[in-house]
Amino acid sequence: MFTLDRVVPWGRSFDEYRRMFGLPDKDLALRIIGCGDGPASFNAEATRRGYQVVSCDPIYQFDNTQIEERIAATYEHVLEQTRRNAHDFVWGNGIRTVKELGAVRMAAMRTFLADYDAGKRAGRYVDAALPALPFEDGAFDLALCSHFPFLYSTQLGEAFHRAALHEMCRIATEVRVFPLLALESHRSPFVETCAADLVGFGREVAIERVPYAFQRGGNEMMRVRCRSAS
């Protein structure tokens, strides 16, 4: 069962999503699903700019106050962990210190919380978990998945990764996943095995460098072309 006490809510901004996934304006105009968006402000900020984004995450079974309380309960711990492992991260480019990191993440999560109730009513925040999503085949042009598969390689295992990638390919024309590093900052062992599995099912897989890195060495995303764009 998915419980809030196991989640460390940590959300990135629209600008970070743009860079993590190499998203030009033309891609932002696509029908986008963010898988595992959690308390990121991507959906809120994209909606404000007139784009169509749906986010799904099991954290959306909880209400605004519950998520806010969980953010408050875990925030200092995440920053302390980052402080202890500061050498694993790239400092600069808008995030020069742990204090700045906290401010940037908290600003994104506040933007998410301010949008959450209205977005849930509008169907933009859907309580759903990989690897089984409640969307029609091909419902989206682009599925984005940030800091979930590959990052939690030890916790999720290979079978989950394969199933999650196939599920995102079922609902979207193209899938992008970032980063390809596991939490321990080495490349996930599942990048190659999942890529081979997807190719075996007729998908096109590319590993591409993107203009974003916060984990040291984490500047690559996986792009999967699941089917020809119609």
Ligand X SMILES: C[S@@+](CC[C@H](N)C(=O)[O-])C[C@H]1O[C@@H](n2cnc3c(N)ncnc32)[C@H](O)[C@@H]1O
Residues of the shown chain interacting with ligand X in the complex, contacts defined by CB under 6 A? 7, 10-12, 35-38, 40, 57-59, 129-130, 146-148
Based on CB atoms, which residue is closest to ligand X, 84 or 229? Answer: 84
Based on CB atoms, which residue is closest to ligand X, 10 or 91? Answer: 10
Determine contact, residues 115/4, Cβ cutoff 8 Å.
no
Based on CB atoms, which residue is closest to ligand X, 40 or 95? Answer: 40
Based on CB atoms, which residue is closest to ligand X, 123 or 202? Answer: 123
Closest contact distance (angstroms) between CB of 195 and ligand X is 20
Closest contact distance (angstroms) between CB of 5 and ligand X is 12
Determine contact, residues 51/28, Cβ cutoff 8 Å.
yes
Based on CB atoms, which residue is closest to ligand X, 61 or 204? Answer: 61
Closest contact distance (angstroms) between CB of 57 and ligand X is 5
The amino acid at 50 = G
Closest to 165 measured CA to CA, from 230, 229, 228, 224: 224
Helices marked H in the chain — which ranges? 14-20, 25-28, 42-48, 64-84, 98-121, 153-171, 190-200
Following DSSP, what letter does each residue of 38-85 receive, concatenated? TT-SHHHHHHHTT--EEEE-GGGGS-HHHHHHHHHHHHHHHHHHHHHT
Q: Label residue 197 exposed, middle or buried (CB < 10 Å: 0-12, 13-18, 19+).
A: middle
Taking CB atoms, the residue at the shortest distance from ligand X is 38
Closest contact distance (angstroms) between CB of 92 and ligand X is 19
Based on CB atoms, which residue is closest to ligand X, 11 or 218? Answer: 11
Closest contact distance (angstroms) between CB of 230 and ligand X is 26
Beta bridge partners of 205: 224
Closest contact distance (angstroms) between CB of 228 and ligand X is 27
First to last CA, the chain: 38
